[in-house]
């Protein structure tokens, strides 16, 4: 379903809701994977992002998002210069991530690193500022950025979903959606909890203490 706000588009800096506002929101999500502004970022642009992104300010929007600027932040206009001054080592590459019929034309793959943490994220800008993350560290996911989100990798053990849901309930957090995927039975499970309220670091840290959780992190809400 497309709302009236989707048709009007987001409040933003830049000429294109898909190439600037959406690109910025993808950068905002990618920075969450390493807990803040990355020190190094490899940004691979696919399709229309690769062909026309520079003219629409996609490069500035993505780098601004990686630094925590939102789509309506005036600093997006000079984001590349700010990144250079603040020491963010970034590089853009044009690539092909798959067949045009299978991969959205406004798609980007991030490889971000900060300290000892490194992560890879693939996401697409769908138009009107809407985004969809389809892969994190090789796991297929569906993250829209419309909710506060907790993402984790855990051993595929019985009761794991119920235990995490209990932790969220104990912190008065309501689950909006839940998606679980795994590569094989008894292997690692990838869980995505989209929740209505913003969790604090204590929630993530409590989930991390569970012996069968390999890692967990928060993705902030970046949508309207």
**Predicted confidence (pLDDT) per residue in 112-125, tens digit:** 999 999 999 999 99
Alpha carbons 111 and 113: distance in angstroms, whole number: 7
**Cα-based torsion angle of the residue sequence 190, 196, 200, 203 in order, rounded to the nearest 10 degrees:** -50
For the chain, the distance separating the N- and C-terminal CA atoms, rounded to the nearest angstrom, is 15
Please give the domain boundaries of the chain with CATH numbers for all domains.
4-137 (3.30.1330.90), 148-219 (3.30.70.260)
Q: Taken in order 36, 39, 42, 47, is the CA torsion positive or negative?
A: positive
Q: Taken in order 137, 195, 127, 43, is the CA torsion positive or negative?
A: negative
pLDDT for residue 206 is more than 90:
yes
pTM, two decimal places: 0.87
How much is the pLDDT for 8? 43
pLDDT for residue 4 is more than 50:
no
Mean pLDDT of 166-178: 96
pLDDT for residue 15 is more than 90:
no
How much is the pLDDT for 10? 56
């Amino acid at each position: 379903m497309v709302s009236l706000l989707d048709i009007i588009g987001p409040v933003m800096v830049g000429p294109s809701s898909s190439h600037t506002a959406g690109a910025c929101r993808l950068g905002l999500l990618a920075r969450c994977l390493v807990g803040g502004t990355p020190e190094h970022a490899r940004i691979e642009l696919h399709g229309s992002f690769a062909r026309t992104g520079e003219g629409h300010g996609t490069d500035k929007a993505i780098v601004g998002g990686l630094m925590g600027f939102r789509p309506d932040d005036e600093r997006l206009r000079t984001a590349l210069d700010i990144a250079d001054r603040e020491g963010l080592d970034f590089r853009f590459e044009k690539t092909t991530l798959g067949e045009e019929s299978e991969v959205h034309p406004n798609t980007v793959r991030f490889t971000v690193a900060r300290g000892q943490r490194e992560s890879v994220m693939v996401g697409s800008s769908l138009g009107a500022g809407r985004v969809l993350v389809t892969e994190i560290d090789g796991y297929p996911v569906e993250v829209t950025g419309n909710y506060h989100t907790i993402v984790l990798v855990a051993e595929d053990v019985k009761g794991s979903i119920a235990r995490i849901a209990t932790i969220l309930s104990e912190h008065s957090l309501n689950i909006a959606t839940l998606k679980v995927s795994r590569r094989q039975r008894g292997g690692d499970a990838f869980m995505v909890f989209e929740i209505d309220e913003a969790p604090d670091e204590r929630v993530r840290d409590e989930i991390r203490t569970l012996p069968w959780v390999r890692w967990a992190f928060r993705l902030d809400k970046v949508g309207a």
